[in-house]
Structure 1
Amino acid sequence: MRRYGPAALLLLTGGAVLRITLFGDLYLRYVQAGLRPYLIVSGVALVLLGVVTAILCHHTPSPHEDAHDKDTHDEGDDGFAGHEGHSHGPAGPRVAWLLTLPALALLLFPPPALGSYSAGREAAQRAAQGVGTFPALPAGNPVELTVAGFSSRAIYDSGRSLKGRTVRLTGFVTHGDDGTWYVTRLLVTCCAADATTGKVEIRDADDDALPADTWVTVTGTWRPKGTLGSDAAWPPVLDAATVTRVKQPADPYEKP
């Protein structure tokens, strides 16, 4: 059965990729939605390659059979086989078997989306953009904004478009060392590997004991802080009117 190992590994990896793309939205924990077709094609290609490899292995003599035939041909009159007949060819690079564990994990126990641990490791980095005016917000209150969108307006908008408006933000809870807590989202350009952190400090909330990674929707008003474009303006502050626990969305990341 050892010679079927490469085929089994290809089928396992391809099946894991198809499992997270064809039968749900799990792939959104790792990559952008636009990459789904490419993942499906890759998964199908791996499965087909695994099937072809298994068929070829079935019709190809194993190294043991080749060695046995060589022993038979090399056997002399004294009945002893040649020493070289006992060599066995490799069944492929052993390091390839390291793919088995992540493939099994993806197939059986898909890792969760990045959360507060990843956000905590991310330094407070902001896009290099200058202070200026932003487009007007839609009419009506509350205004649904992304965490990144709210942060940009709070820190860089010289037109103060957030002033007097009620906004609604959704994200997961992270905690600061001084007892503050934040609504946090990870911004993904391509995949989870390039995720960057955006967060908004929440004040005046009734419930300050929410555990980390709890998903919430917060409605409130912007509290100006620091000079526009300066480090003192980071992170922006929202005075909370309501805090509601919600389920993690199917796509947990924000897009640029």
Structure 2
Amino acid sequence: MRRYGPAVLLLLVGAAVLRISLFSVLYLRYVQPGLRPYLIASGALLALLGVVAGVRAAREVPDDDPHDHVTDHAHTSGPRLAWLLALPATALLLFPPPALGSYSAAREDAQRAAQGVGTFPALPAVDPVALSVAEFSSRAIYDREHSLTGRTVRLTGFVSRGDDAAWYVTRLLVSCCAADATTSKVRVRGAGAPATDTWVTVTGTWHPKGRLGSPAAWPPELDAMTVKQVDEPSDPYEKR
């Protein structure tokens, strides 16, 4: 079995990468959509190398020279340590972890857009207007024209909770992958809180508070009209 160890590991890792990138959209839990071709190419290359390594191992003639047994024993610890790579690969292949959720959001302080008070493009005339959580937050905190006033908006995200009884519709923003995720959230008023990490679409109106651009304006708030439970989207993250 030791002869085929490297081949099995390569095949296992390659299969795990292809599992999330070629045969599903699970890769969106970890990286941006634009990285999919690279994941597929990497997974295919690893699988191909595994096949090649397996064929070469099968063609090798076992060496029964007793003088080589000491050398073989010295190298045994290397392959055994390499097998540790099989654990995360197997987990990814069989049990892909979920997207980041309320636990990740709760670990961060309030996230504020890196911009000053200013103006924003006009919103579409239709009501309710669908906005990302990040866009709603930016307009609520920094828009001197108060473009959200009198508008009905629709936000989609997962439920997270604060230290008090407050609950939030929350999204994580990524630039490249899940490792750089930051939090954007809106406090929901006037509606009972669904279960934590439940995905919901909330329709409502902006509830102004605090001076624009000040810490008192964070987090922005929404007076809810409706709260509807929805399925988690295939791409759970908002993009910067």
TMscore range, shorter length = over 0.9
For normalisation by structure 1, the TM-score amounts to 0.89
Identity %: 71
Match of 2:236 in 1: 252
Secondary structure of 1:31's partner? coil
Segments of structure 1 that go 5 or more residues without pairing to the other structure are 72-83
Segments of structure 2 that go 5 or more residues without pairing to the other structure are none
For 1:30-69, what aligned pairs fall within 5 Å after superposition? Answer: 30-62=30-62, 65=63, 68-69=64-65
Match of 2:15 in 1: 15
- Tell me which of 83, 98, 103 is aligned to 1:117: 103
Matched, 1:217 2:194: no
- Rate the CA distance shift 1:85–1:15 in 2: closer, same or farther, 3 A: closer
Query: Per-residue deviation at 1:94?
Result: 3.5
For 1:95-134, what aligned pairs fall within 5 Å after superposition? Answer: 95-134=81-120
Deviations 1:152-171 (A, max 9, x none): 00001111111111000000
Partner AA of 1:43 in structure 2: G
- Rate the CA distance shift 1:58–1:161 in 2: closer, same or farther, 3 A: same
Q: Which aligned runs of 4 or more in structure 1 are off by greater than 6 angstroms?
A: none
Secondary structure of 2:238's partner? coil
Partner AA of 1:46 in structure 2: L
Query: Per-residue deviation at 1:93?
Result: 4.6
- Tell me which of 198, 205, 213 is aligned to 1:229: 213
Query: Per-residue deviation at 1:216?
Result: 0.5
Partner AA of 1:171 in structure 2: G
- Rate the CA distance shift 1:23–1:85 in 2: closer, same or farther, 3 A: closer
Aligned residues: 237
Structure 2 distance, partners of 1:118, 1:85, is: 52
Query: Per-residue deviation at 1:224?
Result: 0.8
For 1:157-236, what aligned pairs fall within 5 Å after superposition? Answer: 157-205=143-191, 208-236=192-220
Given that 2:29 and 2:178 are in contact with CA atoms closer than 8 Å, whether structure 1 keeps it comes out as: yes
Match of 1:155 in 2: 141
Matched, 1:26 2:26: yes
- Tell me which of 113, 123, 132 is aligned to 1:146: 132
CA radius of gyration, larger in: 1
For normalisation by structure 2, the TM-score amounts to 0.95
Query: Per-residue deviation at 1:20?
Result: 1.0
